[in-house]
Amino acid sequence: MEFVDNLAIGFGVALTPTNLAFAFLGAMVGTLIGVLPGIGPIATIAMLLPLTFHLEPVSGLIMLAGIFYGAQYGGSTTAILVNLPGETSSVVTCIDGHQMARQGRAGSALAVAALSSFFAGCISTGLIAAFAPPLSRIGQSFGAPEYFSLMVLGLVAAVVLAHGSIVKAVAMIVLGLLFGLVGTDGNTGGTRFTFDIRELTDGIDVATLAIGIFGVGEIISNLARPEEQRAVIAKKITRLWPTGDDFRHSWRAVLRGTALGSILGVLPGGGATLSSFAAYALEKKCSSDPSRFGRGAVEGVAAPESANNAGAQTSFIPMLTLGIPGNAVMALMIGALTIHGIQPGPQIMTERPNLFWGMIASMWIGNLMLVVINLPLIGIWVQLLKVPYRFLYLAILLFCAIGVYTVNNSASAVMLAAFFGVVGFVLMKLDCEPAPMILGFVLGPLMEENLRRAMKIAGGDPMIFAQRPISLGLLIAAALLLVIVALPAIRGKREVVFQKG
Amino acid sequence: MSDSGRHAASRLNWNMLARPDVLSGLLFIAIAAFGLWLSRHYPVGTALRMGTGYVPRLLCWILLGLGVIVLIQGMRPTALPLSPSPMAWRAVLSVTAALVTFGLSLERLGLVAAIVLLTGIGALATRALRPLETALAALGLIVLCWAIFIFGLGLTIPVWPEW
């Protein structure tokens, strides 16, 4: 009955008019930026992060969460109608979704995408509610050595599941850890890497870093490329409901996609993008007639769309229960919590049940709203796609600037964001995925703190990590992951998963 | 060595530098070396009593090692070349300048002037924007920002220049 009681608390919080309004706002903004290529959930959440300071913590988190899963819905619209991924998590949806649209089945494809996202959203909300309490109880028994090892495992897994070169991803994490150390050392009071700049003594704010790297960096990257041609499917979308045939073909794909996405979302480094790629690959394997894929197979829309939504939602589990972010968006969520002085970790569930369960209940409500926002209102989003990027980037740039300024009302933060924008552009140009950097950045101070505590407990003996059974297990798992991924056979497979088609 | 042979050899070296892995390896090494230099006076301490410099220096050494590995990987003949981006300098310069100007002007000249400056300088990033379009965009953004941030959220940002 605990489960029902908890959900009752949650819906009590989520159904207040204010929180309903923020869930709706989040879902709308999420859909908007999901539809628009060139701006993603990381940059948007980073921009709005400082503003949540003025809100109740639970309202702020409800809105930010809505942006994240709302973007998964919106991304599919652009993928289907324009053959451009609105988000990286809808890259594979382009393949079959756009083919369906060209065959005049755009309405069907959009409906399948929205409905499978909704189904996955419902299931994964239930999963969070079911698995979060036991996990956070486990988390509460962890000491400093266990936490340190858990973070090591988390970072290693994030690398393994990221695409591109593993060594570079590790280097990006280390770079993030280093950026995280800028400022005053809480333990000794000494300043580090501050160049004697007063503004840097408090460290770099996570919102400034994220807006710079993902917001400004993305703008520069987009402008440095010639503007792409957008051919929106011009035909009027008539039938916004799947045919019986579509239902028959897709229900198994939705179930498989939801299951796979839910599992991959919980893993550190997982989340929406990986889930959608993996689900598409799995569906092709399971199909009795793989040649249909790439020619408008409805499973090719249903599987990745359910998987990316499931993955987006279950990635909240480690963040909410252990305080460990699995991806860059969750790292920003932790930033949102700390803005309000809430220490992320297993104690959140017991100390702030309203926040915890309210957010989970709002996810289900938000998913319901998203079906409405996406299906009947599809015409509005199609119109938005006609806004050329040359107008859009000015607005994004301005919102980045104001967002950074409001972090702590300082003009110097805007300059810092401009600097990180150039850094972000250079890194993207050099094929260095910046997402692991944000993870390292958020975990850096936490890891140092836990390392210090562990060393104090053990009297300076690093063997403590091997003597505690849980810690040892986590470290062995991390080492195994690294070894496995370095094997040539697996490496080939890993690259295949990230290739589209 | 014939002239054409020497030409090919120099082109090979030049090409090698234009590879993302070579450049990022060098970048990581440079950052690590810079970090080690910056932290040269930070007290390191012992594992039991870690000083300010313990973790930063450890991380810099790790980054240095990783940078070397990336560099070596990039020197393999199979490594991919850098993708071209013709508009990069223009975009980098005008976006950075727009943000810096915005930061400098917001508190002194107010939101309206800062938005005009940001759109004006930011518009130089692309040749696609015509002057009239830029002006309209600035006007639209001023109205939008005033509605959201001043009217809606009640942020205490000066709107007009302070005399």
CA distance A177 to A163: 20
- The beta-carbon neighbor of B63 closest among A174, A455, A461 is A174
Q: Which residues contact A331 (CB under 8 A, 6 or more apart)?
A: A206, A325, A438, A439, A441, A442, A443
Q: How far is B69 from chain A (nearest CA, A)?
A: 7
Q: Name the residue type at position A457.
A: I
Is pLDDT of B130 > 80? yes
More confident position, A160 or A287? A287
Backbone CA torsion sign across A240, A246, A247, A252: negative
Q: How far is A203 from chain B (nearest CA, A)?
A: 14
**Token pair for B83:** 């993708």
B113/A contact by beta carbon, under 8 A: no
pLDDT at position B2 = 46
B39 contacts A193? CB cut-off 8 A: yes
pLDDT at position A423 = 93
A406 contacts B62? CB cut-off 8 A: no
Q: Of A138-142, A438-442, B10-14, which range is least confident?
A: B10-14
More confident position, A190 or B60? B60
pLDDT at position A134 = 87
A149: closest CA among A454, A441, A438?
A454
B74/A contact by beta carbon, under 8 A: no
Residue B163: HSE in the Cβ half-sphere, 13 Å Cα cutoff: 0
Q: How confident is the model at residue A484 (pLDDT cuts 50, 70, 90)?
A: confident
Is pLDDT of B3 > 80? no
A398 contacts B141? CB cut-off 8 A: yes
Most confident of A408-412, A416-420, B5-9: A416-420
Which residues on A lie below 8 Å from B91 (Cβ)? Answer: 219-220, 223-224, 425
Stated pTM of the model: 0.84
pLDDT at position A142 = 87
Instruction: Quick: pLDDT tens for B20-69.
Output: 888 999 999 999 999 999 888 888 888 777 888 888 999 999 999 999 99
Which residue bears the tokens 């930010």?
A64
Is pLDDT of B74 > 50? yes
More confident position, A269 or A12? A12
Largest Cα–Cα distance in chain B? 74
Region at A356 (left for phi over 0; alpha for psi -120 to 50; beta for the rest): alpha
Q: Please give the ipTM for the structure prediction.
A: 0.87
B118/A contact by beta carbon, under 8 A: yes
Closest-CA residue of chain B to A410: B103
- The beta-carbon neighbor of A394 closest among B20, B119, B155 is B119
Question: Cα separations (Å) of A42 from A49, A65, A112, A323, B62?
Answer: 10, 11, 26, 18, 28
More confident position, A102 or B14? A102
Outline where A182-233 has alpha helix (H): 206-210, 217-224
Instruction: Quick: pLDDT tens for A45-75.
Output: 988 888 888 888 999 999 999 999 898 888 8
A206/B contact by beta carbon, under 8 A: no
Which residues on A lie below 8 Å from B66 (Cβ)? Answer: 167-168, 170-171, 174
Is pLDDT of A496 > 70? no
Burial class (CB in 10 A: 0-12, 13-18, 19+), A150: buried
Instruction: Quick: pLDDT tens for B137-147.
Output: 899 999 988 88
